């Protein structure tokens, strides 16, 4: 891909390249992934007759998606009817990010192998 510099040989290099290919096949870039985390919180509305005025009641639940854009934290209210879909999309986003990190680590290991093999040939 980048010339002989990043093309180490041997079983370890072959395993790394195979793992990269498997991850790239498994994780094409889907358009609907979500970053961040989904969290349920509780609040009290303050109405005296409401169930949440009881100290043993956790209060009214609500869901938020928290994510970062350009080093700035954003929080988005998620309606209860969308929680399951958002949860799946956040999990898919995490799996995709994990796969990208693993690919980047494999690239670093391939570079390391390439340099070691180049030195041993010299």
Residues 11-62: pLDDT tens digits? 888 888 888 888 878 767 777 889 999 999 999 998 999 999 999 999 999 9
- Identify whether 116 is part of a domain: yes
Question: Does position 90 have pLDDT exceeding 50, yes or no?
Answer: yes
pLDDT 10s digits, 59-77: 999 999 999 988 999 999 9
Nearest C-alpha neighbor of 21 from the set 46, 45, 1? 1
The total number of structural domains that make up the chain:
1
Q: What is the pLDDT of residue 2?
A: 45
Q: Which domain range does residue 64 map to?
A: 32-44+58-122
Whether the per-residue pLDDT at 106 is higher than 50: the answer is yes
In a domain, 94, yes or no: yes
Does residue 27 belong to any structural domain of this protein?
Answer: no
Residue indicated by tokens 């949860």: 87
Residue-level pLDDT at 1 = 46
Exposure of 66 in the CB half-sphere (CA atoms within 13 A): 7
Q: For residues 110 and 6, is the Cβ–Cβ distance under 8 A? A: yes
CA atoms of 42 and 57, how far apart (whole Å):
10
Q: Is residue 92 part of a domain?
A: yes
In a domain, residue 53? The reply is no
């Amino acid at each position: 891909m980048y010339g002989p510099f990043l093309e180490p040989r041997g079983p370890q290099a072959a395993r790394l390249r195979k793992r990269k290919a498997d991850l790239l096949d498994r994780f094409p870039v889907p358009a609907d992934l979500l970053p961040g985390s989904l969290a349920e919180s509780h609040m009290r509305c303050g109405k005296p007759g409401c169930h949440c005025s009881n100290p043993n009641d956790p209060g009214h639940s609500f869901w938020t998606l928290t994510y970062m854009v350009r080093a700035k934290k954003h929080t988005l209210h998620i309606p209860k009817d969308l929680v399951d879909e958002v949860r799946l999309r956040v999990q898919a986003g995490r799996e995709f990010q994990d796969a990208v990190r693993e690919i980047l680590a494999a690239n670093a290991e391939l570079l390391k192998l390439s340099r070691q093999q180049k030195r041993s040939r010299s």
